[in-house]
Structure 1
């Protein structure tokens, strides 16, 4: 393995087979050092993909058992590289997502599956005639253990949604909703006993002990109906926002011709990667993407002050990553005036220092790309 830049750089880009690259990391002290892994591997589509300039980017030809074994042996190494409090996100479509869920359960443990996220990947497909339109893909979120880095993400409230979810207003002007204070299942303990002369409904129990219910009532958080039915008042926190759930509708990939991208096929949404990285890592943590493609993960990590390791065996990927960090991005469409587009958060014009590593066989190719990009 040849490193063309300062070996002390935290950020590293590997050109070559990621199986070899990950083994190199394990042999050089990176076991248990990666805080977050995001991968968007080939989807087993049997297609060849080209960039915007119609140059071959990569082939997605592995299918079935061959694809499963290809990814499984790499996931095993990823688990070795992952820190004890680390997380991994695996992004796939319906071709292999449900098969690979079983493999992820095997390697990381079913109990460590934190979410199976459904993402709306594109706009409605009006040309689909014989079935439902395919507009979704899936992101599996696993952790290495039950102690993991997590910063719960929120999105800002919209007034209409706030009114819908919190339809009542108290005397202090605070919005709230009413929720039951009982839950399914009978209990023999304190939560199954009478409170204020009332037993829980048949087949249910109080969610709180009588002492806790008294405390909530004293604090003005129990609503009593005209028939004497108690319910809890849950207040809206307008400053906190809405917790993001496991269906993502706002993170589609390139959706208009003015959006700036590298031109690499299957380039993922930049804001989606920022959400993942902000939720599952801390500043100065180490983020890895071993199917780096256009380098969206690396760019998002850089913008959020994380260190990164990228890997890809496609020369077009390496060129796209250099383009992202050295030259900025271009408008997506063929007929868009780049001077009229403005998406600054995608344009990383600042210098980002990183090492470029490859095996001896690929070294001459890497040298040419480095020279073309001003290294």
Structure 2
């Protein structure tokens, strides 16, 4: 499939949501701040220095009125609910819900009729979010409240240890995409539930009826002297029941009640339930980690996307963080739109999706568009500048190899053959390149160093001599061309290295 939509915005998501076409999105995943009162950080430089730690966002809300409510974007019932809640709940909670309400309303608008939405939350506000979603999506369209065990057991003072997050799953209407996931039966499950065996294998005996009184229909008939019990009907038509009998798959009890032999191989396995224990959190040694405290596992996003969308569908993540949703969408052959208000997070996301999409075109907005805006970012937020520039070099920032004055990165460009990349983004006019990426088993072919001063060109020459690989000095002007913003500049350099 050829992706037609890959869009990443470093911007306020409400503004972007209002620009998304109605009925265009198959699946939306929202992982908003939880109003937990905690401050979340992103580690974007060396762990040896506190300068590398920065707030990605503060997960607390304050406000003393409903003046910020976008009433033109929400149904009257939602507006009334929020105004009444404002008088009964803490200001922070009502402000948080006022932030969420118009965004959820816009998500409802952009979803296809068969679309679905998952909202990731925790107990600090999940009960209020569910009421809000009932009002916007309809209580009848609530599908599941999934419990994901996100961490291991730990002690808490005078309460049960909080180890789970909640996923509120709603559809836009009664028909929605559903690709159920199954897992193999465990030996314990087989021993407990498939207790019988014949020449065809292990089996269990299941009822031949289903709930619902369908008297007068083809599902209610006499079979071998038996009728379905009151309030139930036969699960199969008469012809199928007769076929089961001919196959020897029907067992009649002493009073003539039929039961069907269900063999292990008849089913796909154990259907996925609403408690997820099999997806572990990202630990300190995970290769997925970007240094972002709230980053979710790729396996979690691949499960959600796989179950609730199909190849080619458009996936939306308005709080995309470091881009795990988009990486999962790439791997599962979906289109995507990602939004995050933090340039730090959006830059890390762009780095990751450039690797996943192998430098395919990504439409970006909210990033530096010219040299003056790039230099302004360097002056105001050097760490953000380093991450932004690294993303354009088809690399991902490596916190272990970065310093307060240099953002270091590594990546790989794939084509006829793979080319490994190393990158450096100076954050000052004079920098020390004494610390570089550990080479290990990586066979780096080319290095890229952003140069906006004479000393940077000298640093590129010094790295070439020391590492024995060509290190190209990339002028700042090269990063802000239209082509570079779309695909980055690493492909051009990689082509030189291949030649």
Question: Which TM-score bucket, shorter chain as reference?
Answer: 0.7 to 0.9
Q: 1:180 offset after TM fit, Å?
A: 3.0
Cα deviations by residue, 1:258-313 (Å, 9 ceiling, x for unpaired): 44311111111111100111112222221110001121101101111111111011
Residue of structure 1 equivalent to 2:108: 79
Distance 1:188 1:92 in 2: 45
Q: Secondary structure at the match of 1:51?
A: strand
Measured in 1, the distance between the counterparts of 2:129 and 2:97 equals 7
Q: Which has the larger displacement, 276-285 or 349-358? A: 349-358
In structure 2, how many angstroms separate the alpha carbons of the residues matched to 1:239 and 1:204?
Answer: 27
Distance in 2 (alpha carbons) for counterparts of 1:10 and 1:315: 21
Does structure 2 retain, via aligned residues, the 8 Å contact 1:120–1:136?
yes
Q: What is the TM-score of this pair, normalised by structure 1?
A: 0.80
Matched, 1:241 2:269: yes
Match of 1:136 in 2: 164
Q: How do 1:1-375 and structure 2 match up within 5 A?
A: 10-23=5-18, 25-26=19-20, 30-52=21-43, 53-62=52-61, 63-125=92-154, 127-173=155-201, 175-182=202-209, 195-198=223-226, 205-208=232-235, 211=238, 213-225=241-253, 228-237=256-265, 240-255=268-283, 257-326=285-354, 348=356, 350-358=358-366, 364=374, 365=377, 369-373=387-391, 374=393, 375=488
Which piece of structure 1 moves more, 217-226 or 294-303? 217-226
Deviations 1:197-253 (A, max 9, x none): 45666x664544883644543343322245654322222237733221111111232
1:334 corresponds to = none
3-state DSSP of counterpart to 2:265: coil
> Aligned Cα RMSD in Å?
3.1
Give me the whole-angstrom Cα distance separating, in 2, the residues matched to 1:215 and 1:321: 56
Structure 1: 5+ residue runs without aligned partners?
A: 1-7, 329-347
CA distance in 2, matches of 1:10, 1:196: 59
SS at match of 1:309: strand
Instruction: State the distance in 2 between where 1:92 and 1:256 align.
Output: 23
List gaps (5 residues or longer) in structure 2. 44-51, 62-91, 378-383, 394-487, 489-499
Cα offsets for 1:100-129 (capped at 9, x unmatched)? 11111111112222222111111112x225
For the 8 Å contact 1:36–1:280, the answer to whether it is kept is: yes
Count of residue correspondences: 341
Question: In structure 1, how many angstroms separate the alpha carbons of the residues matched to 2:360 and 2:257?
Answer: 61
CA contact under 8 A between 1:183 and 1:206: conserved in structure 2?
Answer: yes
Flag the 1:9–1:235 CA change in 2: closer, same or farther, 3 A.
Answer: closer
Looking at structure 1, the residues matched to 221 and 311 of structure 2 have their Cα atoms a distance apart, in angstroms, of 49
**Displacement, 1:367?**
7.6
Tell me the secondary structure at the aligned position of residue 140 of structure 1: strand
TM-score, normalisation: structure 2: 0.61
Cα pair distance change 1:196/1:296, threshold 3 Å: same
1: distance between equivalents of 2:184 and 2:147? 20
- Once residues 183 and 355 of structure 1 are traced to their aligned partners in structure 2, the CA distance between those partners, rounded to angstroms, is 51
Mark the structure with the bigger radius of gyration: 2
